[in-house]
Each structure stands twice: as C-alpha cells, then as structure tokens.
Structure 1
C-alpha cells in the first residue's frame, strides 16, 4: 500500500475540521465506572466480562500470541486478567492497580491487537498513549516494542527533548501508535505535523499524575480533537481528583477494574520508619548507601539530591543523581548505569517516583519524607514490582514525626517504627548498612548514543516502504535525546 504525504496546510485543515465536528462526550448520558457511582457517575450499564486465567483464553492475533509465548508469558497479572477481555471487546476502561502490577500490557495488548492490520496515513496516527514523563514514555515504548514489531506496527515516541523536526519527520513517515507527553504532542499539532482525527484508541497512563502536573487543560484539548466514538482507557495506581472530570467528559459506559484499593499497599512490601537524630542522619545515610546491592535514595529537592550525591562519591559510594535539573541525555545515561549496576545508588527526586522499572530492586529509602501519600506510594512502588518483595525505609527527624505519621495513615500504611543509630545492628539488618570504603570514586559518563529516528519500525516486508527504518533500541535512545522544557516533562 502506497502512503501519500499530505501537505502540512491540508493536515492542519483536517485537524481543525475534526476538532470542530465533535462535541465533548459530556453531552451524552455518561455511565459510571462501577458500583457505588465512583466519580459521581451511575453504575456501568454493560456487564463486565469475567477475567481470564491465561493469555491463551484471549482472542489475540496469532503473531501477538506467539510473541507472548516467546517472552515466556502465559499467566496474566491480576490487572491484565481483569482488563484484557473488556478492552479487547472495545469497552472504555478505568483501570486501577498498584504500581508495578503490569498495567502497560493491560492497555498495550488491546491497543496493538485492535490496530493490527491497519495502516496509518502521514501525520495521522491510529492509536495514542499519553504519559506524564519522558522516563515513562521510554518504559512504555520498550515494553510494547517486541509486540508492535510482531504485528508490523510502527511506534513513534514524542517527548520533550527530541528535536521537533525529527519527530515531525517520523510522523510524516507514518506511525500507527504514538506514545507522547502532552506538551510535545500539542506543539506538533500546532505546527500541523500531527492530526488526531483518525485516532481510534486513546490511553492515558498515570492519568492522575498528568492532572497533578498541570497537564489537564492540554489533555482536555487533545481529547476533544479525537473522534468521540473511539475507545478510551485510563489506567493508574490511583484514580482520583481531576481524573473524575476526564471520566465524566470523555468515557462512555466505562467499566472499572480495580485490583487494589485506591491507596493499596503491596503485600510483599515492608514499610519501616527509622527515627533518627539530626546529628546522625548524614552518617546513617552514607552507611545505607554503602550497602551491597542497589538502592534508590529519595530527596525532597534537586539541590539536596546533588549535594548528597557529591558526599557519597567522596565517601567511596558509586552514586549518581537523577532530577529535573539534569538534561535528558544525562538522565538517560544515569538510568542505564543504575540498571546495569555501574551505579549502585540512585539519588533522586520525585522525577523517579513513577515510570522507572529496575529488576530486583529490594530497597527504597526516603531520605526526606514525602508530604503527599501518593508520592510515598509511588516512591515505594520502585521496589516489590511484578510479584517481588522489598522494603521502604523512611528516615524521620524528631520534628517530622507528627507529619509523617499522618501521611502514612492517609496512605493506608501501618509501618514498623525503630530508633536508629549509624552502627545499630538493626539498621544493618533492615538495610544492609555498612561502613563505606572512604576512597573517592568517579562515575565515567558513557559515550552518547548515535542519532536515529524516533520511530520503531517493523522488519522489512515485501511490498512495504523502508524509508526511516530504525531498530527498536536505537529508536528508544533517540527518543530521549536532548533536554526539553521542565514543564513539558519533568
């Protein structure tokens, strides 16, 4: 099939027509998310399909089923088992499951399966995934890449930090699935490089965080450009606040799949409060950081994270900082070093609280306690992922005790409390704390990744155009080069 590039002016006119031709879904008698009228809506009208016990029970395209088998996946996680039958049937979805529970495949498999066999025109994607951060965009892209390739579907990652001309070129070449942060997608639409009038399936991943980050007006404008009869899926570890507005306006008779309570904690995760004196805190943090094995240390500010990283390096701990003040190439390299073990301590702000998956991470430490219970749950969600176990340790100064205890109650957590000194055996038992080497270390920055397009292309097939082809790994690297504006993706 030959694809004809539409002139930019014509694409912009098509986008304007699509925007003007539809009214918000709030004009229809929207149905609710489930029993009890969550978000102030009545219960769902259409009965929910029952969950499945295996992927084999689903009517998936043969290449998709084969790729799941090749990946060693036979039994879905609870959120996947619940969401997949209804999402594959075209239902609008509200999905709530704890972080690390497998939500990406819960929306990704239906998105790809229902797009299989279709071909996008230039600048007009068929599926859209909106995410709040570049790190989460990378994770979603990597997770879906093998399944998209198996179906011959093209993915394009659209995030702040990648030069606009490169992203515009990828959209002109055609991509069935676009994974985007709202700000950068809005820019490309304003330029006439993308139109949403042919989008059939829309996913909002971590919808509550996008609303909290101030993206809600942009999300509303984007959703109003998408045909009202398409499928919408909203998934997050928490579904609250402004998510209710999105649900009422844009979802039709949605089915709610909640495999965890709204502030649910992971049963395989331990929670500990360490009450420490201010004079002991610096030494205690250094000893925890010197443990054998990786750990994420969360700080409240960029400056605090950078200072702690400098102190740890001087003490002989292989640490690196991750925060919104870093450029995107620096953030990408740091994450890569942490995942490979070259860096054993990631000192981070809340920029790392969502959208980062690291295998076998068994400890998260809140050096500075978060004020928001949702931030606590998402920080802790970096450990005990996909059925694993882990510990979340929060350091509490005397003056922080009351606020931290309230925050834990609001999060639905009942932690164990301990008084800790740097050389206490209990500290070593809980965290693996030990004395650092004292020999300063320096972390060498790896060579930057080569430039490539931002599009995931399937292998060449007879009769298909081959321009703009790039490997999945190269595409992920390219999609995260550069440093965009902080407001667009922290």
Structure 2
C-alpha cells in the first residue's frame, strides 16, 4: 500500500510490508479513505474481501495518536472475535493493547485485561454481561464497528446491541459491515449512522474459479455419496449441515468409514472449538463438519471444497457457504446434495435467485460398491410341498380322516357306546385365519422427476418465490 494513496504512517506501512501486503483490494481502496476522513460507513461486502483490514488500519492509526479505550468492534461469533483480534495484533505495535471479549471462558480474566485495553473486540452477550458488572467504561469510544451485522440480526442480537449502544457516546464514528443489505440492516443504519458513505460490492464468485454442482440423491444415499467424493484427492473441505446433532453424527460416521473428520457447532465448549479450528487450519485433519453459525467468520486459507450436505434455507446462506472456497484467485468447488422434500423446495429458491451457474450431476455415475443401489424385493414363490408338506398316500389319508373323526367326536363329548352317528355338519371345523394372496411386485419409487423439476423451475414466478420464502422463514 502506498503512503500517498491513504496517508498512512511509515510504521503501519512497514508492518503491512512485513506481512506481504503491498497492494490494496478494491474494498480497501474505497473504505480506508472514507474512514480516515471521519465519515460513517455502510459497507456491503462478502467475507474474504479484505474488509477486516480496511477498518483495522484506520483504527490502529488513531490508536497510535491516542490513549485509553477508543475503539469497540462487535461481532456475532467467538471464532470471528478471535480472528479479528489476531488481525489487529498482527498490525499493531506492542504498546497497543487489544482485548477480546466472548463467552465460554473466564469473565474475570477478561475484565482484568480490559482495564488497559485500547481496542476491544467483543460478542454482544458477553460484552453486555461485563457492562452490567461495571467492568468496562465505554464513554471514551470514538470508533464503533459492527461487523457481519446481518448475521448478528439473524442470531437475535439486536436487543443486546441496542443495550450496548446506550453506553456509547453519540459523538463517534460508526462503521457497519454486512454481506447483505436487508430492510432490517437499512433500518439499523438509519437509526445509528449519520449520513454514511455507502459502499457496495457484488459477490466476486467467478465461474472460472468456483465450480458449483449439485446431485439429486435420495436421503439414505447421501452418506455413501459423500464418502465417495471425500476419498478423492483434495486438500481441505467443509461439510455444512443445518443441525448441530447432524454434525456430530456425520463426523462419527465418516471417521468409521475411513474419512477422518471433526465437527464444529455451538454445543461445544469454547476451548474445544478453538482447538478444532486450529487443528483444521494446521491440516491435522482435512474434513470439517460445521453449522452455518459455527463457521461464520471462519477464515481459513486453502479450502478446496464446500459440501452442502443439507441445503440452506435461503440464498444468502448458500452464498456465505460457497464463499469459503475459491479465494484469492484459487480454484474451488461447491457441491450440494439435493433430496426430495425440504431440500428440493429450498434449492429451487437458490437456483432461481443465485446469480452463478450451478450444474446438475447424477449419483448413478458412481460405482455400486460406493453407492449401494437398493433393489425392490422380489416376491418369493413357494411350492405346495414347501407350504403344506408332501401329499399323503390314499391309505394314510383314510387313516388320517378316521382319526380326525374320532378326535372330533371326543371334542364334542359324544362316544361310540351311544351308537349314535355324528353328522358331518355337526363337527366344528377349524377356521382358516390366513389366506394366501398373490402379491404384486412393488413399484420402484422414483426419487426425482427431472422433467417436473425443470418445468417447475421454468414456471417459477415472483409470487411463488415470495410465498416460498415466507414458508422457509418459519423453520
């Protein structure tokens, strides 16, 4: 980065050069001058665009000239909190103290470190706990950064954020970053930002770098297909699921089948989540099973494949997922497994709204040893002898009928000494409770109707899209 372009100090430029950063990204070229000029900023930018450094550099520059706590960065997840803290520490001098505040660890230790902090990176819930304990004073804050604001709203942090903002002076510079600008984000910005500079960047997913495909596969065959694909040559892969329980189960099943995998979800302790993330970053294992929330803000270089084991419920989540790969000019592949029901319904929305090209593949192209094909059970036919035994001879049959007749008379209480004939109609015959019915062969279920799927997609209109979106939000 050139000093004359951004008016940066030589100390900052030296630290950037040591990290190999000499050219600013398009996001940084637009945002850094706006922040340095003292204006509020509303930025729509995808993950991995260099936005963290775009607000870190101006804040660090201001910290060099001031003392005390001057900057607060609020983020949605613990992982993102740690990663932004690491970025600030990487480009700051030793006398600048950066403190991270998040749940799952000792709050007393965090409160002790806050006394000398110049920059605080925090999640809303833990920060509010410390404020209520009077462990931090935010009256000196000059810079407020709301990073990944759309995800914080999705996670229900809006009330916590508003409570925190009550303790921050109105005379401040507010920087809001979001992957999407929804009505809620616009409302939030109009309430807390003053005449902001609006910067918007379209997602930079290029077809020549990111290959997007999907398989139409039955739910019971998803695991076998995933095992087959993961056993091919690849570096790092993230498998996304919608449920925490699914991540745990899938990680165990993959490991049993020879693919070493670990899960990352919100039920894990903070120490374990950090340990798993660091092991994945250092390539101690190559397959990470994660939920959207757990993987939010996860910046790991070298991810070559992203798998949607369960289809996300909206296009934005799909974009966030596939954005984990094909970064920094490297190629990657995003693969989705689409089965009937909810998967198919949500994927229609993605196909209709997503701007990229998603190609169809068929699971039938793989070997049966990897993808077992279950055939319809054939009706087994039995011979008469197998069902009833061998036919008796005429002599043995007469003897059998005579013995059966005597038995019937004994059961009815009659005796030969009365010399009374027992009529055949008086004998109570045993009732036949089972009947042999000819079973028709079961019809093989067709998991997908290709023509219907494509026909529905072609007839997909805006009214249908809105109604489907409303249904999707209920989940």
TM-score bracket relative to the smaller structure: 0.7 to 0.9
1:147 aligns with 2:91: yes
Once the 2 structures are TM-superposed, how far is the Cα of residue 220 of structure 1 from its aligned partner?
A: 1.4
Once the 2 structures are TM-superposed, how far is the Cα of residue 335 of structure 1 from its aligned partner?
A: 0.9
What per-residue deviation string (whole Å, max 9, x for no partner) do you get for residues 147-206 of structure 1? 1226x311000001121111111112x111000001111110110111111000010000
Higher RCO (CA-CA < 8 Å; seq separation 6+): 1
Once the 2 structures are TM-superposed, how far is the Cα of residue 422 of structure 1 from its aligned partner?
A: 6.7
1:137 aligns with 2:55: no
Between stretches 395-404 and 330-339, larger displacement belongs to: 395-404
1:366 aligns with 2:281: no
Structure 2 match to 1:104: 52
- Retained in 1: the 8 A contact 2:77–2:294? no
Tell me how far apart the structure 1 counterparts of residues 64 and 244 of structure 2 sit (CA, whole Å): 43
Tell me how far apart the structure 1 counterparts of residues 87 and 187 of structure 2 sit (CA, whole Å): 29
CA RMSD of aligned residues (A): 2.1
Task: Give the TM-score normalised by the residue count of structure 2.
Answer: 0.74
Tell me how far apart the structure 1 counterparts of residues 3 and 210 of structure 2 sit (CA, whole Å): 27
Structure 1 match to 2:29: 81
Distance 1:415 1:54, change over 3 A: farther
1:345 aligns with 2:287: yes
Q: 1:191 aligns with which of 130, 133, 150?
A: 133
Once the 2 structures are TM-superposed, how far is the Cα of residue 353 of structure 1 from its aligned partner?
A: 3.6
Tell me how far apart the structure 2 counterparts of residues 253 and 175 of structure 1 sit (CA, whole Å): 30
Superposed, which structure 2 residues align to 1:56-95 within 5 Å? 57-95=5-43
Unmatched segments (≥5 aa) in structure 2: 372-475
Structure 2 match to 1:471: none
1:299 aligns with 2:241: yes
What per-residue deviation string (whole Å, max 9, x for no partner) do you get for residues 247-299 of structure 1? 111111100111216xx645532221111133432211112222332211111
- Retained in 2: the 8 A contact 1:275–1:397? yes
Structure with greater helix share of residues: 2
Secondary structure of the 1:285 match is helix
Secondary structure of the 2:92 match is helix
Secondary structure of the 2:303 match is coil
Once the 2 structures are TM-superposed, how far is the Cα of residue 130 of structure 1 from its aligned partner?
A: 0.3
Distance 1:218 1:128, change over 3 A: same
Q: 1:211 aligns with which of 153, 160, 180?
A: 153
Structure 1 match to 2:177: 235
Tell me how far apart the structure 1 counterparts of residues 155 and 346 of structure 2 sit (CA, whole Å): 23
- Retained in 2: the 8 A contact 1:305–1:348? yes
Superposed, which structure 2 residues align to 1:155-166 within 5 Å? 155-166=98-109
Distance 1:195 1:422, change over 3 A: farther
1:244 aligns with 2:186: yes
Secondary structure of the 2:242 match is coil
Task: Give the TM-score normalised by the residue count of structure 1.
Answer: 0.72
1:126 aligns with 2:74: no
- Retained in 1: the 8 A contact 2:266–2:294? no
- Retained in 2: the 8 A contact 1:55–1:76? no
Secondary structure of the 1:393 match is strand
- Retained in 2: the 8 A contact 1:283–1:422? no
Tell me how far apart the structure 1 counterparts of residues 307 and 244 of structure 2 sit (CA, whole Å): 16
Structure number with bigger Rg: 2
Secondary structure of the 2:42 match is strand
Structure 1 match to 2:359: 416
Unmatched segments (≥5 aa) in structure 1: 1-52, 426-433, 436-490
Secondary structure of the 2:47 match is coil
Secondary structure of the 1:67 match is helix
- Retained in 1: the 8 A contact 2:315–2:349? no
Tell me how far apart the structure 2 counterparts of residues 265 and 239 of structure 1 sit (CA, whole Å): 18
Once the 2 structures are TM-superposed, how far is the Cα of residue 424 of structure 1 from its aligned partner?
A: 6.2
1:116 aligns with 2:64: yes
- Retained in 1: the 8 A contact 2:3–2:9? no
What per-residue deviation string (whole Å, max 9, x for no partner) do you get for residues 396-448 of structure 1? 113333431213323434311122237269xxxxxxxx99xxxxxxxxxxxxx
Distance 1:56 1:353, change over 3 A: farther
| Count of residue pairs the alignment pairs up | 368
